[in-house]
Chain A
Amino acid sequence: MSVVQPAIGIERSGAARSSLRLRIENNPFSWLVPVALMLGVFYLYPIIDVFRLAFTNATLLGRDEIYTTATFKALLGSPELPDILMTTLVFVAASVIGQQLFGLGIAVLVMRGERRKLKGMTALRTIVLIAWVIPGIANGLIWQMLFSEAPFGAINSVLRMMSIAPVAWLSDPTNAMISAVISNVWRGTAFSMIVFYAALKAIDATLYEAASVDGASSWQRFRHITLPQMRPAILVNSILITIQTLNTFDAIISLTGGGPGRATEVLSLFTFNAVFRNYDLAGGSVLSVLMLVISLVLALGYASMLPRREASE
């Protein structure tokens, strides 16, 4: 390595400057300035502003705003909100449970295959992961082509070939929700799978050996070793994917657009419509605050369930 900054040979006036420079360089916080600036300008300030706007009557059309709690009361008391929250709850809960179970199942399967040195396990892992890199908008459009009730709809045309009556996947409210969940699970499972796969790999193999010596069945090994060891990973993953699903927007807007009626209008879509369709900036801000509060409560709720050891890391 070449000498980069010779301490000697700097002229006197430069010495003071270089000691200042040293002080800056050795202070960890000066290294954090770029990140703090970016997050401050593009995250913290907008978040604070969302709280401020929630107490105004602001619109995107830009008239003078006054401070009021009327927007807050109007939105929280609106008859639509309970339905929207219920839709959101169903969508998020079903997606999260589906992604976790499916993700865990695939991770266990891949691990078993690898232990038995079966071929094709990496390929399986790759296939699952491909769905994850597909843009949310494309995800919605692709599934629309599968669920479509038009002649090119994949699922219905297969049903027709088997002489089964076609199903109204997207035009029936209940089915539309099921369709939205399926498409979301298709794209989201990969993340859970990779988290669980990494957690499974980290489990000490001697635990299983000891259990085998004690004559534990494979179900007992799964129940008493795998699951307890996976607890932290399952909890962390729950937080991450719950919040991800709560924020899901693109995949739903391109699959169902919130319909039929409002059957799949989740909170994020409702917020979007409030601001950018109805120009109701204040109302959208109230809903944004609601989204933030729900995320925060979820995160704290899950975090409190984490074992101490994990929390301190």
Chain B
Amino acid sequence: MTEETREKLWDYATYLMAILIALFFLTPLFWLLSLSLRAKQEMFLGASRFIPKHATIANYLKILSDPTFVRYLWNGLELSAIGALGCLLVSAPAAYAFSRFWFTGKSALMMTILAFQMVSPLVILVPLYRYMSWLGLLDSHFGVSMVYIAISLPMCVWLVKSAIDNIPKSLEEAASIDGCSRFGIFWRITLPLAAPGLASAFILILILNWSQFLVPFLLITTDSKLPISVAIFNFAGSSNASSTQVLAAACLVAVVPAIIAFLLLQRMIVGALTAGAVKG
């Protein structure tokens, strides 16, 4: 067998494996879609009606016409976005310092910040729950956003630092010669130049915040303030076999924004992720 025919055979094997892997990863989502398009009667037909004979969007209409459900979606978006934006604001100066200053203990400090990521949110929530209750921050989006910010800070600092690392220093030096202050350089030159990196960090954290469950689950008590992730969990607890098709639709609606955000900005996110992963 020549080298080329052997490689050809391996190509087929690669495709076969790729298809099997794709099936494993896609089937759960297709199943969710299939269930969400069914009427109650077809639920009992299981896999034999993978493509529903009487596909219906009634389940979607039902949840999307429910004002509380739309509210949950909005809450999820609001918390994720404020959390991600706040995180950038807090981490950008630190990332600048780590990228542009040289001082003793710098790498130790960076590792310390990263070490916080090893701490489960559950650990900090045990005492935070009491403090936030004293401070009157329980059940407030402000309090929850602050915890979101803190949780994604370690990763954000590292992501923004690697974005700033990639900016040539000469532009900052030119501005410095023109008499620009350090903060002015940071604000008017470094950050705008780092915009693509900042944007990918923002989107990545936005997507991760969208998945947050524990923090809002514990810190928010008013139903109308809950984000979608907690709402679908509560809904699952209250639903029964006859409303699974509605739960499937709700799940899909909760999942789709994250998938769309990811697909649109895939290249940026994968870039940020691999840069962070290799260095971190």
Contact = CB atoms under 8 A, between A and B. Distances in A.
Interface string A24-53: 011011011111001101110111011001
Given A25-B181, A160-B46, A38 B90 contact: yes
B146 interface: yes
Mostly helix, strand, loop or mixed at chain B's interface? Answer: helix
Contacts of B14: 109, 112-113, 116, 118
Contacts, number: 288
A66 interface: no
B189 A53 contact: no
Interface in A285-310: 285, 288, 291-292, 295-296, 299
Contacts of A296: 118
Interface stretch (B17-25, B54-62, B67-75, B194-202): B17-25
A142 B14 CA distance: 28
Given A141-B232, A157-B47, A47 B273 contact: no
Interface stretch (A78-86, A89-97, A145-153): A145-153
Contacts of B180: 1, 3-5
A145 B30 CA distance: 12
A138 interface: yes
A3 B174 CA distance: 11
Contacts of B44: 151-152
A127 interface: yes
Given A1-B178, A38-B149, A268 B270 contact: no
Contacts of B26: 127
Interface residues of B, number: 102
A62 to B, nearest CB: 8
B15 A138 contact: no
A134 B259 contact: yes
B1 interface: no
Nearest to B23: A127
A198 B277 contact: yes
- Which residue among A29, A43, A124, A144 has the maximum number of chain B CB atoms within 10 Å of its CB? A43
Interface string B169-201: 000001100111111100011000000000000
B126 A285 contact: yes
Task: Give the interface centre of A5, A126, A133, A144 by most chain B CB atoms within 10 Å.
Answer: A133
A223 to B, nearest CB: 17
Nearest to A198: B274
A150 B241 contact: yes
Contacts of B94: 31-32, 34-35
Nearest to A25: B182
Given A1-B178, A53-B126, A285-B126, A130 B43 contact: no
A312 B94 CA distance: 20
Interface stretch (A67-75, A172-180, A245-253): A245-253
Interface string A113-134: 1001010110111111111011
B127 to A, nearest CB: 4
A7 B179 contact: yes
B253 to A, nearest CB: 10
Contacts of B280: 236, 240
Given A127-B21, A247-B122, 8 more contacts: A5-B181, A5-B184, A35-B153, A38-B150, A127-B25, A129-B270, A199-B278, A249-B214
21 contacts: A4-B181, A22-B181, A25-B183, A31-B93, A34-B94, A42-B146, A50-B123, A109-B18, A112-B14, A129-B266, A130-B29, A135-B254, A151-B43, A152-B43, A161-B46, A161-B48, A198-B274, A237-B277, A243-B118, A250-B214, A268-B120
